[in-house]
A = this chain, B = another copy of it.
Amino acid sequence: MVTIRDVATKAGVSVATVSRVINNKGQATPETVTKVLEVIKELGYKPNVVARSLTSRKSNTIALFVPTISNPFFPELARGVEDVAHSYGFNIFLCNTDDERTKMKNYLDSLRDRYVDGIIINSLNLTNKDLEQLHSHGIPAVTLDRTFSTHKFSSITVKHRLGAQLATKHLIDIGCKRIGLIRGPEDDSTAVQRMWGYRDCVKEYDWFDQTWMALGDFSVKSGYLCMKELFQRHPDIDGVFASNDLMAIGLLKAAYEWGRKVPDELSIVGFDGIDMSQYTIPPISTIRQPIYEMGRMAMEELMRLMREPSSNFIKKELDVELILRESSMR
């Protein structure tokens, strides 16, 4: 392997001079700079980035924490982050935490020690203390979507409760009389907000009680199982708001097996706006989040924090939109 010493010898200068040229610090004549760069190219020398990061503490690497890459929502989000990151010459390490505290903690420790330049985190299990620790290590962080928004760091989220209201109200407007909810995990703040949005719209009705809500985990399979549960409990159900599109896909399957025609006998609205929701039979109405845009904004905000470490944090809450498709067209 070519070392800095080899470069110095070949260029006829000291190691310190080569170092100054590489790091673009201190003084060197234009002739020396030209000569050193020529030799570096000739020998194919690569500065040791780990050693350099000890002084510069920069790695041109960003980490993106997602709770799961199995839900297409997160790959679409990652795309937004990546496109901005690559335009600035940054690499992204994707860290799949499965929303487990231990895994997230391991990643945080490993990245902090290895001087990653910044972190975008989407995790239920992130604490204020984690964010403060990153801050004290000089690593800016932006939280995304699912984290509590009370912390003193930058965060980007969407109007989950409002979205759920739009979905439920739409089902009422098209004439549904008994509307169920397939909700997401109890410890997930987005799932909780979407549940409240649904409740806001149905709580005044005589028929409504807890049994109209089934507890899913955002997977296709859980949507399928929850819908069967709701059919059994309430054969008269004629509308369902599924807290995400993957569960709506599973729900569609259960409705088919149960012999209920969508949308005539059962109308469905999902949440997220993942690409797949257009390709189901019938296509699924959904509350579209600006997924790509969220990723893009998070990365832009992280770049801002890296450039201006002492600037104020920001909190953004993006709008959502009801997309009407066949699953709720009566």
Residues of A within 8 A of B (CB): 1, 46, 48-51, 53-54, 59-61, 63, 68-70, 72, 74-76, 78-79, 82, 86, 91-96, 103, 106-107, 109-110, 113-115, 136-137, 220-221, 224, 249-250, 252-253, 256, 275-276, 279-281
Select A70's contact among B48, B75, B224, beta carbons within 8 Å: B75
Contacts of A92 in B (CB 8 A): 95-96
Select A60's contact among B76, B96, B110, beta carbons within 8 Å: B110
* A256→B276 CA distance, assembly (Å): 16
Pairwise interchain contact A114-B113, C-beta atoms closer than 8 A: no
* Given A82-B96, A94-B96, A95-B93: A113 and B256 interface contact (C-beta under 8 Å): no
**Majority SS at the chain A contact face:** helix
* A106→B280 CA distance, assembly (Å): 37
* Given A106-B91, A281-B253, A281-B256: A50 and B54 interface contact (C-beta under 8 Å): yes
Query: Least Cβ distance of A130 to chain B in Å?
Result: 15
Chain B residue with Cβ nearest A71 = B75
* A233→B91 CA distance, assembly (Å): 44
Query: Least Cβ distance of A70 to chain B in Å?
Result: 5
Chain B residue with Cβ nearest A250 = B279
Pairwise interchain contact B49-A51, C-beta atoms closer than 8 A: no
Contacts of A110 in B (CB 8 A): 49, 59-61, 91
Chain B residue with Cβ nearest A57 = B50
Contacts of A109 in B (CB 8 A): 46
Contacts of A61 in B (CB 8 A): 110, 114
What are the 9 A-B residue pairs with the smallest beta carbon separation, nearest first? A49-B113, A94-B94, A93-B93, A69-B75, A70-B75, A253-B279, A256-B281, A91-B110, A220-B279
